[in-house]
Homo-oligomer: A and B are copies of this chain.
């Protein structure tokens, strides 16, 4: 699973901390997801998409396989 959160976030000129607050999660969570430590929950994926003005399908790309 890939995501373009870092790019979309920088386009919007918000910090990880600001995006975290907008999504109601911790800064570490945003950081971990941007650096592919793990995938967000579905709810968080929707909140990220919403706060970055994108759809979930635009923000994430699922590479058929398993990860």
Bound Cα distance A39, B47 (Å): 14
Interface size on A, residues (CB 8 A): 19
Central interface residue in A24, A45, A55, A60, by most chain B CB within 10 Å: A45
Is B50 a contact partner of A43 (Cβ separation < 8 A)?
no
Q: Which B residue sits closest to A55, measured CB to CB? A: B57
A18-46 to B contact mask, C-beta < 8 Å, 1/0: 00000010000000000000011111011
Is A41 a contact partner of B43 (Cβ separation < 8 A)?
no
Is B66 a contact partner of A43 (Cβ separation < 8 A)?
yes
Which A residues have a C-beta under 8 Å from some C-beta of B? 1, 24, 39-43, 45-47, 50, 55-57, 60, 62, 64, 66-67
